[in-house]
Chain A
Amino acid sequence: NAGVTQTPKFQVLKTGQSMTLQCAQDMNHNSMYWYRQDPGMGLRLIYYSASEGTTDKGEVPNGYNVSRLNKREFSLRLESAAPSQTSVYFCASLLGLFVGGYTFGSGTRLTVV
């Protein structure tokens, strides 16, 4: 049972380049989330998807788009990367009934130069 899988684990982009961060979960969870972690800032919610076919903005959505491709997969896209998007990105999933909190992936460390 893999839980939440994120790819890639590391990425370096040049300013203005685009990329998609992939996330997949095999726990049949309804809700999925994208957070970013920056030094001294904790984890901040970028976008979330309460169920397949729905997405909503979180605290820091500017510069990002998301796609909930199916129940398993929730991707995060940077259309034109900026140095301010240098961060560690975490995907998480949650069972519909709130038990035990989120399950997080191991993260994608993104550097924009």
Chain B
Amino acid sequence: DQQVKQNSPSLSVQEGRISILNCDYTNSMFDYFLWYKKYPAEGPTFLISISSIKDKNEDGRFTVFLNKSAKHLSLHIVPSQPGDSAVYFCALTGANSKLTFGKGITLSVRP
């Protein structure tokens, strides 16, 4: 049973517009939420995170929103740039620091 769901496998947006990547989870014990970005032939790299005591965290063009009651996490990228084209994974953890990853979303930003 999937604990972390990224239901849309891909997303295509125009350069300059907003990209919204979604992630749903089932286990209320998760208390720290992260987004990773992955380019082909490279390892994932940390992008942004949020703890369960917050509902929003912003870092430049990237904002993560957390809706605990809905068990929903989203990443907003504004404005989107062609260099943002990559696979994005949401990852969740609890007290043991083991990350549980979603299947990933492939974002394509069209020039």
Same complex for A and B? Answer yes
Contact residues of A with B, CB < 8 Å? 4, 31, 33, 35, 40-45, 48, 50, 58, 90, 92, 94, 98, 100-107
Q: Are B97 and A40 in contact (CB under 8 A)?
A: no
Kindly state whether residue B36 has any CB partner on chain A within 8 Å: yes
Contact B43 A41 (CB under 8 A): no
The 10 A-B residue pairs with the shortest CB-CB distance, nearest first, are: A104-B43, A101-B46, A42-B103, A43-B101, A42-B101, A106-B43, A101-B34, A104-B44, A105-B43, A90-B43
Q: How far apart are B47's CB and chain A's nearest CB, in angstroms? A: 9
| Given A40-B103, A43-B89, A45-B98, A98 contacting B32 (CB threshold 8 A) | yes
Query: In the bound complex, what is the Cα–Cα distance between A82 and B20 (angstroms)?
Result: 39
A-B contact pairs, 22 of them (CB 8 A): A31-B97, A33-B98, A42-B6, A42-B89, A42-B101, A42-B102, A42-B103, A42-B104, A43-B44, A43-B91, A45-B99, A50-B97, A94-B97, A98-B32, A98-B97, A101-B34, A101-B49, A102-B44, A104-B44, A104-B45, A107-B42, A107-B43
With a cutoff of 8 Å between Cβ atoms, the chain B residues found around residue A41 in the complex are: 103
- Which chain A residues lie closer than 8 Å to B46 at the CB level? 100-103
Contacts of A98 in B (CB 8 A): 32, 93, 97
A90 to B9, CA, bound (A): 21
Given the complex, which residues of B lie within 8 Å of A4, measured CB to CB? 43
Question: A102 to B99, alpha carbons, bound, how many Å?
Answer: 9
Chain B residues whose C-beta falls within 8 Å of the C-beta of A105 in the assembled complex: 43
Q: Check B70 for interface membership: any CB of A closer than 8 A.
A: no
Contacts of B97 in A (CB 8 A): 31, 50, 94, 98
The residues of A that contact B44 with a CB separation of less than 8 Å are 43, 90, 102, 104
